[in-house]
Amino acid sequence: MEILSNSTNLNVRVDSTLKKEAEELFKRLGLNMSSAINVFLSQSVREQAIPFEIHDDKPNRKLLKALKEAEKMEKTPEKYKGYHDIEEFLKDLEN
């Protein structure tokens, strides 16, 4: 990325481990931190949005219910039928 004569400094606080991992990634991609941030900012301005999806890491109710059910199944496997292959499973669905 070309250096602009009208450049300015941007100071950002980040977790030291995250910074190290990002620097290693960007190095493999042929970028330094400054270039990578400039790519992110340029893409954000071009798209008028964050150039990737941002998700809440908190699981929704449906997922929480499924996780609880999976834990229950793991604790009492004798109450649940298991399958060795998909054909066996599909055969049970037909009945």
Question: Looking at the predicted structure, is the pLDDT value of residue 2 above 60?
Answer: no
CA-to-CA distance for 19 and 31, rounded, in angstroms?
14
**For residue 35, which amino acid is it?**
S
CA distances from 51 to 7, 62, 88 (A): 22, 28, 44
- 41-85 pLDDT, tens per residue? 999 999 999 999 888 788 889 999 999 999 999 999 899 888 899
Residue 27 φ then ψ, to 5°:
-60, -45
Q: Is the dihedral of CA 34, 39, 42, 43 positive or negative?
A: negative
Question: Looking at the predicted structure, is the pLDDT value of residue 87 above 80?
Answer: yes
Residue 1, both tokens: 């990325």
Q: Is the pTM of this model over 0.85?
A: no
Question: Looking at the predicted structure, is the pLDDT value of residue 14 above 90?
Answer: yes
Q: Is the dihedral of CA 46, 48, 53, 57 positive or negative?
A: positive
